[in-house]
Chains A and B, each alone.
Chain A
Amino acid sequence: MTNVLEVQDLKVHFPIRKGGKVHAVDGVSFTLAPGTAFGLVGESGSGKTTAAMACARLTPITSGTVRLNGRDITHAAGAELKAARREVQVVFQDPYASLNPRERAGAIVRRPMDLLDIGTPAEREARVDELFALVGLRPDQKDLFPHQFSGGQRQRIGVARALATRPGLIVCDEPVSALDVAIQAQILNLLGRLKRDLGLSYLFISHDLAVVQHLCDQIAVMYLGQVVEIGSRRELFTRPMHPYTHALISAVPSPERIGMEAGARIRLQGDPPSPISPPPGCRFAGRCDFAQDRCRQTAPQLQRKDGSHAVACHRAEDPDVMAAGTAQALALQPG
């Protein structure tokens, strides 16, 4: 079966005024199998959103290739790009900013079909009714404006709009992080149900590891424009290998860890280095407890360990580093 998405050595560099360039995404590769959810996690500035937007052809690609359902869309234009747009749609983070306040909900959901010339007007209207039901909105709400909906309902409109063209792939850019805690569960359950019922694939961007663990089958951890670790949900969380992944897991405040000594946590110092002139060696070396001279001199390549699990760290199999990973995984075990 063809992969929904194949990304090979993707680079997105943004030029800046002083000369130089921001290495927003710097050599990212991954594949997304049909009916699965792929999570991109990392801190702000790690390039996760830029990488995903490049996959949806919403940001210029500097080099590398993006294949959607087997077709190379890296340089697609005109009718070819329009056809690709039917197959990949986006759910945005902010359900307040991503809906036109002057358009009615029904028109917002219909818009992608209008723009991509899908179906007759009557068919589009019928599809809008179908989509409203699918995401848990009432058909009579089609005539309302975005401000008449709650945050959770607005995100349902955003999901309905993304589904309008019957895409196989949806890019979800932090779809629940702007929502209230009780509403997040409603939207995550909706996304889970749609994935199962419609066989959808997701490219899911989040900084919340718990959300990613809940929804994603495969996960890539990004740091400063690069993937530092990638693996299945089980591989990544039972045996986290990269010291940065350890730190991310450790930093998640969790009710399971109530009363756990703060000393058992990994404290990351400082901020990531500048993406304008990234350091020559491992980009995480400056904040890593295990960094040695070779880490600062040569950049580690992503190396496959077992199954789909791969990590970019010179010392991933060093006993000290492995023990640190085991400690973080164990800390998550219920009491």
Chain B
Amino acid sequence: MTAPLLSVRNLEIAFRSGRDDIPVVRDLSFDLGAGETLGIVGESGCGKSITALSLLGLVPSPPGRVTRGQILFQGEDLVQAGERRLNEVRGNEISMVFQEPMTSLNPVYTIGEQIAETARVHFGLSRAKAWARAVEMLSLVGIPSPNRRAHDYPHQLSGGMRQRVMIAIALVCEPKILIADEPTTALDVTVQAQIFDLFNDLRRDFGAAIILITHDIGVVAQMTDRVMVMYAGRKIEEGPVADFVRDPRHPYTSGLVSCIPRLTMPPSDDPEPLFEIPGVVPAPRDLNRPGCPFAPRCARVMPRCRDENPGLEPLAPGRMVACWQEQEVAA
């Protein structure tokens, strides 16, 4: 078996608060193969975004830092890499598209300049060549009349167009991994569909691997091959996307999958109330007690869940879950 493109091993990320290091990601391991799309799912505060930032060496420090583990990109540990090496990796090898396309673009430069700058810095292209490359990228991400649009400032573009520009910047260096953190949350569904078509083209044409962070179960179902569910900084379930949607095992995962209203045909004239996961995600500081972090919200909680935290156990090849109940059923 060939080594995965990216292999995260026992990652722990902590934030300093007063005299303590409060872990926000704990013992996280996952792999990403070339050309694969991995979904990372969970509520806000589960550690999805900080995990993504850590892959680029962008955990805000201080107060945060990677306190344990490895991030192996093509065998090289990025946790140990210096700032200079990380700058080569960022954009060239791994790039990121953020949620908010307005605040991520510089309002005082034209979008052409912003893309060209990336091309100049990373490839050492001349101004003219970098500009040509920028126009080419705008065309690639489906912006009409790219020659003219390259002279526009971010405020002259719609939300969907801005997100395309962000994607153009992320892709100008043809990275091996594209991390997209809620890339379409601020966009309309029709625009979202266009952006996802674009992602699929990129995967096909460049063989890029994609990490898609989202809380939208529909998006996960449509876009990803494999799903990792995070809760309170830990991975609690992982498996192929079809299993995630049709046969979720962790009570949190099945809660996430069943608490959303689904478009159905024929529609019910008097829909049943939605399934509710009671309560909210615990604060990282409250996680030092023993037991499963989901136990206080879990409908299937057993006495053991409050005392011991279940580890991840394989259910089938490529499938694992951290839940006592599932593990006892399997045993």
Contacts and interface: CB of A to CB of B under 8 A. Distances in A.
Contacts of A265: 193
Contact of B267 (A207, A211, A237, A257): A237
B273 A192 contact: yes
Contacts of A2: none
Interface SS, A side: helix
Interface string A318-335: 000000000001101110
Interface stretch (A10-18, A52-60, A179-187): A179-187
Interface stretch (B111-119, B148-156, B215-223): B215-223
Contact of B262 (A210, A233, A248): A210
A326 B198 CA distance: 27
B257 interface: yes
Contacts of B265: 237-238, 329-330, 332-333
- Chain B, interface size category, equals 35 or more
A253 interface: yes
A182 B277 contact: yes
Contacts of B217: 181, 255
Contact of B276 (A186, A249, A256, A258): A186
A253 B216 contact: yes
Interface stretch (A81-89, A267-275, A289-297): A267-275
B115 to A, nearest CB: 20
B188 A214 contact: no
Contact of A248 (B190, B215, B275): B190
Contacts of A193: 273
Interface string A198-218: 000000000111110111000
Interface stretch (B87-95, B131-139, B157-165): B157-165
B96 interface: no
Interface string A218-262: 000000000000000110011000000001111111111111001
A252 B221 CA distance: 11
Contacts of B275: 185
B197 to A, nearest CB: 6
A213 B267 contact: yes
A238 B269 CA distance: 12
Given A181-B216, A255-B217, A262-B197, 17 more contacts: A43-B188, A180-B215, A181-B260, A184-B260, A185-B261, A207-B189, A214-B274, A233-B267, A247-B190, A251-B189, A251-B192, A256-B264, A258-B241, A258-B242, A258-B245, A268-B193, A332-B263
Interface of A: 43-44, 150, 152, 180-186, 188-189, 192-193, 207-211, 213-215, 233-234, 237-238, 247-259, 262, 265, 267-268, 270-271, 329-330, 332-334
Sorted nearest first, the 10 A-B pairs with minimum C-beta distance are A253-B218, A214-B261, A332-B265, A185-B259, A185-B274, A43-B188, A251-B193, A251-B189, A255-B221, A253-B222
12 contacts: A43-B190, A152-B280, A180-B44, A181-B43, A181-B256, A182-B43, A185-B275, A185-B276, A209-B189, A233-B269, A258-B222, A332-B264
